[in-house]
Structure 1
Amino acid sequence: MSERATGAQTIREALTRQNEEDEDEEGNLSEDDEPKACGVCGDLAKGYHFNALTCEGCKGFFRRAIKRSTQFRCVFLNKCNVNKSNRRSCQACRFHKCQAIGMRKEMVMSEREVLERRIRIKEKKMRDAPMQFSSQQEETVQELLCGHRGTFDSAFYRFSGFRPMDRNIFPVSENSKSTSEPSCACSPPSSSSSLCGGREETQEGEEAIKGGVFTALPHVTDLTTYMIQGIISFSKSLQGFRSLTIRDQIALLRGATFEVMQIRFNMVFNAEKGIWECGHIKYCIDDAVRAGFQPLLLEPLFKFHHTLRKLGLQEEEYVLMQAMSLFSPDRPDVQRHSVIDKLHENLAVTLKTWIDCKRTGPEKHLLYPKVMACLTELRTMTEEYSKQILHLQDIQPDDISPLMIEVVSKNPCNDL
């Protein structure tokens, strides 16, 4: 990157630029069953969902309604008639009718439960898969390696023109700890603390952090924008990604960018020292604190990097992880679920077959489920990351790039 990453371009521009999830919690009606009406709107019912016979639209509506934090309100005293043509007009009455026909909120699975179920289903399908690494799988791995190596500079030689890292302000939490201890539960040992600058925190520095001034944020923004641009380029290098519509490409990138970024950062993570060695620049967890990120994200993220790094993954396994994260069919606003799900399943089979055929030693038998567990754990941190980026934008709007905001923003669902 020859100039400082400004993030002025959007994902659509970088690519040359409703959400009806298919989690399948319950079984659908068989082909021999006669058509039946949705108990909420009268549309064609596809099966029993959350304990009631409903169409796919009302199934998705009820799921999203349960997960939202605010309540619906009806301006017509909850007396609206809900049918197929006007079901989107009053969300409150539609939701009340869902409850009235017996739909149960406790049957709505959390995102983590959905991910775990998907993993179990895929693992079941792969148990009887032949243990031979095919030429097609080899081509898949080579395509991923080529795309990765062309878009990820592990020595960060191309990361130039960035705003310098300002380490003059330190985490407030250090005041109550001795200098021989880590600065927080997820910080690296004090032996590597010199990489983050001196340890003498001034009163002015403490007051600046309390006042919402985060000195490392401009540099972290430049680094993040640089990484996002690389991830977009990596995605565009993949034939399966290019075959999708622009809308699906954007939806996948919005959902996966944070996860792919962390997988790439893990490749330069030194677990012994607890630091990220990005060429001539080295980062520790305190730098993220100086940039304004909070323990609710940093503590599990730091633990994730230790866990994943200790698996000793090969480059091929890292790039397959990135691709599996990218091609996740359950991202918001994805339209071609079945196509993306097939891509994801093929990548999962390729990873498992690679481990079974290329790895030696008893540890290989647990490696695949451990990798899948890491992907699941990473997914749970994405929402918190988005919240913290949006919060930082409120505090220091000039230091958050438009590209970062587009990645973490969420379009409102058309049905809510």
Structure 2
Amino acid sequence: MAGLTTLCLSESESCSDSPSSTSTVLSHGDADLNGEEKTCAVCGDRATGYHFHAMTCEGCKGFFRRSVIKGVQFTCPFTSSCTITKAKRRQCQACRYQKCLAAGMRKDMIMSDEALRLRRKLRDRKQKQEQSPKEEPDKGAGLTMEQEQLIEILSEAHQKNFDSSFSQFTHYQPPVRLYIHSVRPWGAQNGACSLSPEDYLESYPEEVLPDVFSMLPIFADLSTFMIQQVIQFAKAIPAFRILPIDDQISLLKGTTLEICQIQFNTIFNEETKVWECGQHCYTVQDGALAGLQQIYLEPLLKFHVSLRKLKLHEAEYVLLQALVLFSPDQVDVVQREEIDQTQEKIALTLKSYIDQRHPLPEGRSLYAKLLLLLTELRTLKVENTRQILHIQDLRSMTPLLSEIIS
């Protein structure tokens, strides 16, 4: 299992080929500082900059994008070793595509059509603003261009790195549990908590007592799965990637468990009180069978019900995750001022989005409710960490979780 430092260092430039991406901003143009013309790493033509993580020409950039989006499977009619030059690059698509990959071009950096449309919209708006600089901005017109771009970046990072269908989690095997039909499980009576986890276990005769840690293996796997997604989400945010690696690790250690809960809320069913993870469904009872205690599980359920009732948009969920991630109060961070400024921008964007997209009177107190829930979430994380530290088997099952809470 890769450690936190390894995951942070690997693929450190995993964001889309957008105007705000670090690689595009730092590599704009077709010549270096000495005036030397750059050449395409694929065909040798004049390069126009970094595209999908490699210095290429416009022709190879377009070819790679079209190939990935269409999902075409190319086959070389020869020996898969064709020479790719500016003159011959059209003769063998298979070898040209393989050379794109060999040059470092990355499929995961290709933006979706929806993200491209939003980027074009932002460019058009910027051009109009530049053409009429004397006009006073309409304060009621909506979000600023910078705020919309921030939402675009965060949404792209979330969509690429959060598997809401949990399709990548299907290979994990569900636990085998002992069911006694004469005993009602916790929470099964009229949808309410009729028995606490402790009462649920005490209701069994000693000789048929179920294993309290029967859900522990899948809980460990699920925790690791979610933590890895949060790390990838953070790495896809340019403002996070430019921080020193030690600051990145400090932020992840301090906030990952909270961000996991925000992501879990997007798949929480308020009516059934169930987390619907694709083909698998989990309840607070499953948490009890993983060894977690009622003092944590009951407030956790209350938190998810409260947050789900607010009916947040996807943009608000991703802004909330980023707001938690950029926490300047983490003990070991060095660039505290930069992190604080980023968090302030995110907070203002979230407030502006709520003001624009939620009608009164509901929208009036929504931002304040979110801040209160974030305070509750911080308390939940402290209790969750305390309980995890007491489950020795869990820390040995998932070293990544152990590193996060260390």
Q: Give TM class, smaller chain.
A: 0.5 to 0.7
Deviation at residue 332 of structure 1 after TM alignment: 2.3
Deviation at residue 382 of structure 1 after TM alignment: 1.2
- Which residue of 160, 163, 168 maps to 1:153? 163
Report the TM-score when normalising by structure 1.
0.61
SS in 1 for 2:281: strand
Change over 3 Å in CA distance of 1:169–1:328 after alignment to 2: farther
Q: Residue by residue, what CA displacement relative to the aligned partner does 1:41-89 show, whole Å, maximum 9, x if unpaired?
A: xxxxxxxxxxxxxxxxxxxxxxxxxxxxxxxxxxxxxxxxxxxxxxxxx
Match of 2:404 in 1: 407
Change over 3 Å in CA distance of 1:185–1:397 after alignment to 2: closer
Return the letter of the residue paired with 1:148. Answer: H
Match of 1:141 in 2: 151
Change over 3 Å in CA distance of 1:180–1:335 after alignment to 2: same
**Residue 191 of structure 2 contacts residue 272 of structure 2 at CA under 8 Å; is this kept in 1?**
no
Report the TM-score when normalising by structure 2.
0.62
Change over 3 Å in CA distance of 1:183–1:382 after alignment to 2: same
Match of 2:384 in 1: 385
Change over 3 Å in CA distance of 1:323–1:185 after alignment to 2: farther
What is the distance in 1 between the residues matched to 2:395 and 2:262?
28
How do 1:45-124 and structure 2 match up within 5 A? none
Calculate the aligned-residue CA RMSD, in Å.
2.8
Deviation at residue 261 of structure 1 after TM alignment: 0.4
Match of 1:15 in 2: 8
Match of 1:25 in 2: none
SS in 2 for 1:15: helix
Return the letter of the residue paired with 2:223. Answer: T
Task: Compare CA radii of gyration and give the structure with the larger one.
Answer: 2
What is the distance in 2 between the residues matched to 1:185 and 1:176?
5
- Which residue of 203, 206, 228 maps to 2:205? 203
What is the distance in 1 between the residues matched to 2:188 and 2:242?
56
SS in 2 for 1:282: strand
Match of 2:257 in 1: 258
Q: Residue by residue, what CA displacement relative to the aligned partner does 1:334-374 show, whole Å, maximum 9, x if unpaired?
A: 12111111011100000000111222232111111011111
What is the distance in 2 between the residues matched to 1:206 and 1:335?
54
How do 1:12-411 and structure 2 match up within 5 A? 12-16=5-9, 132-168=142-178, 182-183=192-193, 202-203=204-205, 207-209=209-211, 213-393=212-392, 396=393, 400-409=397-406
Change over 3 Å in CA distance of 1:291–1:343 after alignment to 2: same
What is the distance in 2 between the residues matched to 1:277 and 1:378?
20
What is the distance in 2 between the residues matched to 1:221 and 1:185?
25
Deviation at residue 380 of structure 1 after TM alignment: 1.1
SS in 2 for 1:333: coil
Match of 1:102 in 2: none
What is the distance in 1 between the residues matched to 2:265 and 2:188?
29
Deviation at residue 183 of structure 1 after TM alignment: 4.5
Change over 3 Å in CA distance of 1:332–1:352 after alignment to 2: same
Deviation at residue 203 of structure 1 after TM alignment: 3.2
Structure 1 runs not aligned, ≥5 long: 1-7, 18-128, 188-198, 410-416
What is the distance in 2 between the residues matched to 1:176 and 1:224?
23
What is the distance in 1 between the residues matched to 2:349 and 2:384?
30
Q: Residue by residue, what CA displacement relative to the aligned partner does 1:367-388 show, whole Å, maximum 9, x if unpaired?
A: 1101111111101111111111
What is the distance in 1 between the residues matched to 2:149 and 2:207?
53
Match of 1:22 in 2: none
**Residue 169 of structure 1 contacts residue 206 of structure 1 at CA under 8 Å; is this kept in 2?**
no
SS in 2 for 1:140: helix
Deviation at residue 179 of structure 1 after TM alignment: 5.5
Return the letter of the residue paired with 1:281. Answer: H
**Residue 247 of structure 2 contacts residue 332 of structure 2 at CA under 8 Å; is this kept in 1?**
yes
How many residues are matched? 273
What is the distance in 1 between the residues matched to 2:245 and 2:143?
32
Deviation at residue 166 of structure 1 after TM alignment: 3.1
Match of 2:48 in 1: none
If asked which structure has higher relative contact order (CA below 8 Å, sep 6+), I would say 1
**Residue 304 of structure 1 contacts residue 378 of structure 1 at CA under 8 Å; is this kept in 2?**
yes
Q: Residue by residue, what CA displacement relative to the aligned partner does 1:272-292 show, whole Å, maximum 9, x if unpaired?
A: 111111111111110000000
Return the letter of the residue paired with 2:321. Answer: Q
Quote the sequence identity (%): 40
**Residue 219 of structure 2 contacts residue 290 of structure 2 at CA under 8 Å; is this kept in 1?**
yes
Deviation at residue 201 of structure 1 after TM alignment: 7.2
What is the distance in 2 between the residues matched to 1:339 and 1:301?
32
Match of 1:57 in 2: none
